[in-house]
Copies of this chain bind each other. A is one copy, B any other.
Amino acid sequence: MLSTTERTRLRRARHKARTDRADLYALLDEGMVCHMGVVVDGAPMVVPTAYGRVGDTLYLHGSTGARSLRAGGEVCVTVTLLDGLVLARSAFHHSVNHRSAMVYGVPRVVTDERERRAGLRALTEQLVPGRWEAVRAPTAKEMVATRVLALSLEEASVKVRTGPPTGDEEDHDLPVWAGVLPIRRVFDAPEPDPGLREGVDVPAHVAERALSR
């Protein structure tokens, strides 16, 4: 169960809240980038960035020079999956079917070298499962240039909107088409690097990812 805090409690549209931890995991595992909010000089800054999950920890990374990772203090990490455009009979009831997770907390700068590698592994595996074992591991020099942050999933909320449009009784007989336009993320065929060594075929882990949702 996700515990509720003052800021993870949905105040409006409470039926959209999900409190099962499995929903949080599923959503995070399906996403590919998050939007991380930090406060810099008192103002918000929202950066798209990669992430990976290990149990109840979200790993983020970046250059040691990145402003967003140097900010310190609280972050809010949001992952949003778009599932469809909700077209109602009235402009007012238009909506978007989506699943989104918001995670609040103060990230910990990971210093343990083994955990740092586990975090980077999760980040790589998030993009394409099976990728980490297939590629060259980070060198000591690359590790020095990389900051790894760990954010606990302790304080998180999940919001889900599904299904057809809602609307007002009196609009029901309007001659307006209403429904959902489903959105899907697809991968196209892998594009080999122009400098790819001859004889290196698309490996199974990439082919499988291309076919995944």
Would you give the 0/1 interface string for A68-91, flagging 1 where the beta carbon is closer than 8 Å to chain B? Answer: 000001111110101011011111
Residue of B with least CB distance to A36: B46
Would you give the 0/1 interface string for A124-155, flagging 1 where the beta carbon is closer than 8 Å to chain B? Answer: 10011001101111110010001000000000
A108 CB → nearest B CB, Å: 16
Contact B185 A180 (CB under 8 A): no
The CA-CA distance from A171 to B137 in the complex, in Å, is 11
Interface size on A, residues (CB 8 A): 96
Q: State which residues 166-198 of A face B: CB under 8 Å.
A: 171-197
Contact B135 A176 (CB under 8 A): yes
**Complex contacts, A88 vs chain B, CB 8 Å:** 135
**Complex contacts, A55 vs chain B, CB 8 Å:** none
Q: Top 9 A-B pairs ranked by shortest CB distance?
A: A37-B44, A37-B46, A35-B35, A182-B188, A43-B74, A37-B37, A178-B193, A48-B80, A90-B136
